[in-house]
Amino acid sequence: MEQGFSCLRLDGSTPVPQRKNLVQSFQNSKEPSVFLISLKAGGKGLNLTRATYVYHMDPWWNPAVENQASDRAHRIGQTEQVTITRLIMKHTIEEKMMALKEHKTQLYKAILEERSDGGGAGLTREDFDFLLG
Q: Which residues contact 103 (CB under 8 A, 6 or more apart)?
A: none
- The amino acid present at 42, given as its one-letter code, is G
What's the pLDDT score for residue 6?
Answer: 87
What's the pLDDT score for residue 111?
Answer: 74
Burial code (b: 16+ CB inside 10 Å, e: under 16) for 53-84 equals: ebebeebbeebeebebbeebbeeeeeeeebee
Rounded Cα distance, 19 and 105, in Å: 31
What are 88-97's pLDDT values in tens digits? 889 998 888 8
What's the pLDDT score for residue 103?
Answer: 85
What's the pLDDT score for residue 118?
Answer: 55
Q: How confident is the model at residue 3 (pLDDT cuts 50, 70, 90)?
A: low
What are 28-64's pLDDT values in tens digits? 998 889 999 998 887 677 889 999 999 998 888 777 8
What are 95-127's pLDDT values in tens digits? 888 888 888 888 877 777 655 555 556 667 777
Residue 65 has pLDDT above 90, yes or no: no
What's the pLDDT score for residue 42?
Answer: 79
Largest Cα separation within the chain, whole Å, is: 59
Q: Which domains does the chain have, with CATH numbers?
A: 1-87 (3.40.50.300), 90-133 (no CATH)
pTM recorded for the entire structure: 0.71
